[in-house]
Amino acid sequence: MKILVVIERSPKHRFLVRLHKPGLVREIKALVGCKKYTQAIAAALSRGIFEKEVSVDDLPGLDARLILSEHSANWDLSERDGN
């Protein structure tokens, strides 16, 4: 599963991270379910695989199932094949 991590500083930083292990995916989902977004970001960045830094121009075509910031999480509800 790929997620977009947004760190809201000036300027915003956006990172595409791939969660490559089912246990890590379950952990991130559980943390998001408990609204522990900062802990979910820390787990994703420390144990996930960094794919790239994302610019504003890359956002429209981005393939991420979850957009995770320090204050919220938004799931991609469209059905896509793959991750």
> Whole-model pTM?
0.85
Contact between residue 66 and residue 41 where contact means Cβ atoms under 8 Å apart = no
Backbone torsions φ then ψ of 39, nearest 5 degrees: -65, -35
For the cut 80, the answer to whether the pLDDT of residue 81 exceeds it is no
Q: What is the pLDDT of residue 65?
A: 93
Contact between residue 49 and residue 18 where contact means Cβ atoms under 8 Å apart = yes
Q: What is the pLDDT of residue 67?
A: 94
Quick one: how far is CA 39 from the chain centroid? 12
Domain segments of the chain: what residues?
2-75
Give the model confidence (pLDDT) of 14-62 as tens digits.
999 999 999 999 999 999 999 999 999 999 999 999 999 998 888 888 8
